[in-house]
């Protein structure tokens, strides 16, 4: 067992013990929020959000499409989230000759599965955001028929991105679910990390895309995966 595996095992054991402890130090939402803003990813996304929202207000030219575009984006987001999780985050390294195709996002996510308690690994890597934020800005400015609508798109992306990071962080923090909706979201993602990595791919909603796409089984019928903390281990050892 490597030092990383040993550390991950210890942290996971402590995490599970905290879930069942009769007396546990409560973490309030304020404490969680202060810890959340100590990381670079929320600030990068918030910068995009503030700049896009400010520019949107200055441009004006409000139309009906500025209403239905956010609604469509909100409806599509769980499926986008699911597709990125399955196709990018759970990407299996490919070899083309001597070149290994293994994106940073995929590598970081595998490390996140090894140790879900490692807080920096919860967030979108800042290295990825250095090109992702400009890409979103370019799409907003160039792919829409008018500047106002493009800025609406960018603003909603900022809101969705910040909501994703906050939800994902909160799930992996010591904050305990209080509402019925959040408890369902919290449970789904923890099943993905501690039960079976082949199911429960949505993060910010209670299994919406998973229910539609067939990755939301009854947890009592699913066996615990031996590779839930070591993604693609069988493939690598085969």
pLDDT digits (tens, 9 = 90+) for 158-181: 999 999 999 999 999 999 898 999
Give residue 107's pLDDT band: very low, low, confident or very high (50, 70, 90). Answer: very high
Residue 208, domain member (yes or no): no
pTM of the predicted structure, to 2 decimals: 0.86
Give residue 1's pLDDT band: very low, low, confident or very high (50, 70, 90). Answer: low
- Whether the predicted pLDDT of 237 surpasses 70: no
Residue 103, domain member (yes or no): yes
Write out pLDDT tens, residues 9-30: 666 666 555 554 444 567 899 9
How many whole angstroms separate alpha carbon 77 and alpha carbon 74?
5
Residue 8, domain member (yes or no): no
Residue 85, domain member (yes or no): yes
What are 130's two structure tokens?
């250095």
What are 64's two structure tokens?
């009906």
Residue 69, domain member (yes or no): yes
Four-point Cα dihedral 21, 190, 105, 11, nearest 10:
20
| Total domains, the chain | 1
Between 235 and 140, the more confident residue is 140
What's the pLDDT at 22?
Answer: 43
Three-state SS at 101: strand
Residue 106, domain member (yes or no): yes
Domain hosting 84: range is: 37-178
Write out pLDDT tens, residues 40-93: 999 999 999 999 999 999 999 999 999 999 999 999 999 999 999 999 999 999
Residue 189, domain member (yes or no): no
Residue 216, domain member (yes or no): no
Three-state SS at 20: helix
- Whether the predicted pLDDT of 204 surpasses 60: yes
Residues in the chain: 238
Number of neighbours of residue 68 by Cβ within 10 angstroms: 10
Residue-wise DSSP of 156-179: HHHHHHHHHHHHHHHHHSSPPP-S
How many whole angstroms separate alpha carbon 82 and alpha carbon 39?
24
């Amino acid at each position: 067992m490597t030092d990383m595996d040993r550390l991950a095992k210890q942290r996971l054991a402590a995490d599970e013990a905290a879930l069942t402890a009769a007396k546990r130090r409560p973490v309030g939402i304020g404490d969680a929020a202060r810890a959340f803003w100590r990381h670079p990813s929320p600030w990068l996304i918030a910068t995009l959000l503030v700049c896009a929202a400010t520019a949107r207000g200055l441009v004006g030219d409000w139309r009906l499409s500025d209403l239905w575009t956010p609604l469509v984006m909100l409806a599509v987001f769980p499926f986008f989230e699911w597709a990125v999780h399955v196709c990018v985050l759970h990407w299996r390294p490919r070899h083309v000759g001597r070149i290994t195709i293994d994106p940073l996002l995929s590598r970081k996510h595998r490390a996140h599965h090894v140790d879900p308690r490692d807080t920096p690994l919860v967030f979108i890597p800042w290295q990825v955001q250095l090109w992702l934020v400009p890409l979103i800005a370019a799409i907003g400015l160039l792919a829409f028929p008018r500047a106002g609508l493009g800025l609406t798109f960018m603003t909603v992306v900022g809101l969705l991105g910040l909501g994703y990071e906050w939800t994902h962080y909160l799930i992996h923090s010591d904050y305990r679910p209080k509402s019925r909706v959040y408890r369902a979201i919290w449970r789904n993602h923890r099943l993905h990390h501690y039960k079976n990595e082949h199911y429960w791919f949505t993060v910010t909603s209670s299994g919406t895309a998973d229910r539609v796409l067939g990755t939301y089984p009854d947890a009592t019928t699913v066996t615990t995966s031996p590779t839930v903390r070591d993604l693609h281990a069988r493939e690598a050892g085969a």
